[in-house]
Amino acid sequence: MSAANKRYVIIPAGGIGLRMQAALPKQFLLLNNIPVIVHTLRLFLTVNGIEKIIVPVAAEWKLYFNELKDQYSLPSLIECIEGGETRYQSVKNALAVLPDEGLVSIHDAARPLATPGLIEKCFTETILNGNAIAAVGVKDSVFELTASGFKSANRNNFRLAQTPQCFKLSGIKKAYQKEYHESFTDDASVFEAAGNKLNLVEGESTNFKITNPEDLLFAETVLKQRK
């Protein structure tokens, strides 16, 4: 595989998940008796050609993560580094240890139900179009808050962003040279703020982010159905 098409992965895992109301950050909670982040890492290990997986973790959780890595016999291509105070800084730290050439898929640690097919699609689309942002349509009615109050909006004009979000390393590294702004809610927003056009690809309805306790119950159901 040429250097330009080599595959790398970043799994930001520095969040503390306050909405989960648990002692452990949500990425470390058990899903079918296995930590959520282990499910996510195992997912990417099924994808061909991954050179390295970088996992930025809060300093106080690095030892715990490395213990999980040993407990579940995760391979050495998974490298834990210290994350930052924000997701933006964690991803920036991870990009710094990757080469300037290649492809990188950035995926939420607490989003363990994506499929290998979606990851492959994002890598392929990035080769063709420079980036690939998984996103799904809006099923519910949408209202926009304006100066005069709420008004209905056409839901067909909106998409909900997911991960993976995949980029050519040269492009996303350049984008992350911008100073942090509170509008940077994901990597796509950083990439767009640097003047780049986003290429959206169809995501998956079951590729949700585990945020609340009920999400864990739903994720257990999805895993049981897949088995």
pLDDT of residue 145: 87
φ, ψ for residue 164, nearest 5 deg: -75, 150
Indicate the range of 3-17, 154-168, 192-206 predicted with least confidence.
3-17
Residue 95 above 90 pLDDT?
A: yes
Using DSSP's 3-state secondary structure scheme, residue 170 falls into helix
Q: What tokens appear for 189 in the block?
A: 């927003």
- In words, the CATH class of domain 3-226 is alpha beta
Q: What residue has token string 């595989």?
A: 1
pLDDT digits (tens, 9 = 90+) for 32-88: 999 999 999 999 999 999 999 999 999 999 999 999 999 999 999 999 999 999 999
Greatest Cα-to-Cα distance within the chain, rounded to the nearest angstrom: 57
Burial of 99 (0-12, 13-18, 19+ CB in 10 A): middle
